[in-house]
Amino acid sequence: SSSERDLEVARAVEEALGRIQNFDQSLLHMLDALGKGLSVQEILWEVRDGRVWVKELKSRAPGRFAFAPDGSLQLSPDYLPQITTPVGTARSLPDRKFVRFTFGGLYDNLYGRGLCSRAYWYYWFKKNNLKFWVLFNEKFGAPTVV
């Protein structure tokens, strides 16, 4: 719409997105969830001109995170210091600190199911079929001289 309020909101959103460093690269990292099922970006905030802005989105390895029963994001216990943290406890992470994108998550699967999981067995079969075909050719491809 062309109302003054809508134009003002559009300008504010454009300015907010324009301030994010490497925003296009961050979007590409988010799309990694299509193949793997989950992508996580950390939001780095900054205060400028008396307002809070998103400074940057940093892509983080999805394997470093776990989910609490309520669905909130936690740092996986495998990535916490073992001296100060009891074994098996994950650390809760603050709200509005991470952006998570899940692809193909059904029912209660918060980790998603990427497209690569469906193609894995085709890849595995092709790779192993080629390996055994090469072994067969090495053994029987050229008959031994009598």
Mean pLDDT, residues 111-122 taken together: 88
pLDDT in tens, 37-49: 999 999 999 999 8
pTM over 0.75: no
What is the C-alpha separation between 4 and 25, in angstroms, rounded? 32
Structure tokens at 57: 């989105």
What is the C-alpha separation between 7 and 15, in angstroms, rounded? 12
Is beta strand 65-67 parallel, antiparallel or unpaired with respect to 73-75?
antiparallel
Structure tokens at 122: 């085709």
What is the C-alpha separation between 67 and 92, in angstroms, rounded? 9
Question: Residue 17 region, left (φ>0) first, then alpha (ψ -120 to 50), else beta?
Answer: alpha
